[in-house]
Structure 1
């Protein structure tokens, strides 16, 4: 696919929190990552407001295993609270994604250089990302490496369909939708032989408004263009 990258992301633990479990102070991970969590990983590899990162597919490589831990959350009132967090253990995923230009950002039209953005994105992936990688939450450090999607053996090869129930798909922000509000998207994924194919955010039918929100303004004065990045680093420069 045009402007695409494929990579593997892995770590010791992951916590893709089911928001329903947070009401009582506990946290329970979804069985698989949400679209928004993977999108956040891609944006940690390389992010520009000029681009919209679109996650196409995720392949679950390792068996889904859970581990619970007693955690003392930050309590500024001086309490001694003990909460139970349930993590995914030894997660490993292959990801296929691509970028598109954000047409709701006419103020960044000067930065739409497709070829250079793709080259920078691939170099950032090769370097392990421009920012730290997290698997759902900050205490779950992750690592990314280039790969070929579909290569290698997955625990769920030939496993058939697994229905995962109703989940959060992701969040709509005003700079990507053109609407002055933040929205949450829901969906019911089905994992087929270990592969989850995500619908595009604009194809999700279950959308709920969360709050009013305005998009942040970007222009040439507060965003370094990809031409300037390429000139500063050089085509083979380090990130």
Structure 2
């Protein structure tokens, strides 16, 4: 199977649990959707889609609390649609100073992961004889090796940017504290864009620092 292996790391990360409505609380580890976002920041085309196969946790899982400034509201989608039809941005402004809220967040600190992923062609890619999985995989590897990206990859939220490097050769080993089996509970897998961006979840289990990620539609994946 043709794969890419990417190491990512950073001082802080926040992979928000969707069930926490007010305060942001991170999952214990990186989510597959966050990993996909990192890969798409490096290489993405409409003819392909990234599928996360495996996540390797390298550093001990440690949390810290932090208070962050956030905007308390967002512009309704209906107003955006109306403004696009009218060709005017009137009424779309948000006054940050008037709508700022300070909220607590439970973050991860000093994180490092290995993302193992493959590429699938979309219907558009399969219809074009010039497209191939190998072509996009080689492009992604070249860009990762050179440190190139479309926008800076981040760990869950944009304020927590991450470094990355392409991995080749022998696999890295997780910290000894991650040995054994750990049930991480239900974790967000990704969004199903075919049915209106419906979220999908899977039961995440970490064995010796490794999390096997199912594909959408596999047994055990629920909406």
Same fold? TM cut 0.5: yes
Residue in structure 1 matched with residue 211 of structure 2 by the alignment: 196
Cα offset, 1:66, TM superposition: 0.7
CA root-mean-square deviation: 2.1
Residue in structure 2 matched with residue 121 of structure 1 by the alignment: 140
CA distance in structure 2 between the partners assigned to 1:101 and 1:199 by the alignment:
18
TM-score, normalised relative to structure 1? 0.76
Residue in structure 1 matched with residue 88 of structure 2 by the alignment: none
1:62-107 CA distance string (max 9 Å, x none): 00011111112124461552200111101100111111211x3368
1:88-144 CA distance string (max 9 Å, x none): 101100111111211x33685255134432221111111224221111110010111
Q: Any residues of structure 2 matched to 1:207-222 within 5 Å, and which?
A: 207-208=222-223
CA distance in structure 1 between the partners assigned to 2:12 and 2:148 by the alignment:
19
CA distance in structure 1 between the partners assigned to 2:177 and 2:169 by the alignment:
13
Residue in structure 2 matched with residue 60 of structure 1 by the alignment: 57
Residue in structure 2 matched with residue 17 of structure 1 by the alignment: 16
Residue 10 of structure 1 contacts residue 90 of structure 1 at CA under 8 Å; is this kept in 2? yes
CA distance in structure 1 between the partners assigned to 2:125 and 2:141 by the alignment:
25
* Alignment: residue pair count: 199
- The answer as to 2:64 corresponding to 1:44 is no
Question: Which of 124, 148, 157 is 1:105 aligned to?
Answer: 124
After superposition, the Cα gap between the structure-2 partners of 1:115 and 1:159, relative to the gap in structure 1 and judged at 3 Å, is closer
TM-score, normalised relative to structure 2? 0.81
- Structure 1 residues without counterparts, runs of 5 or longer: 175-179, 209-239
- The answer as to 2:84 corresponding to 1:85 is no
CA distance in structure 1 between the partners assigned to 2:10 and 2:127 by the alignment:
35
CA distance in structure 2 between the partners assigned to 1:53 and 1:94 by the alignment:
15
Residue 163 of structure 1 contacts residue 190 of structure 1 at CA under 8 Å; is this kept in 2? yes
- The answer as to 2:163 corresponding to 1:143 is yes
1:132-168 CA distance string (max 9 Å, x none): 1111110010111011476333114772100011121
CA distance in structure 2 between the partners assigned to 1:48 and 1:133 by the alignment:
16
CA distance in structure 2 between the partners assigned to 1:168 and 1:152 by the alignment:
25
* 4+ residue runs over 6 A deviation: none
Q: Which shifted more, 152-161 or 64-73?
A: 152-161
Secondary structure at 1:37's aligned position in 2?
Answer: helix
Cα offset, 1:61, TM superposition: 0.3
- Structure 2 residues without counterparts, runs of 5 or longer: 73-93
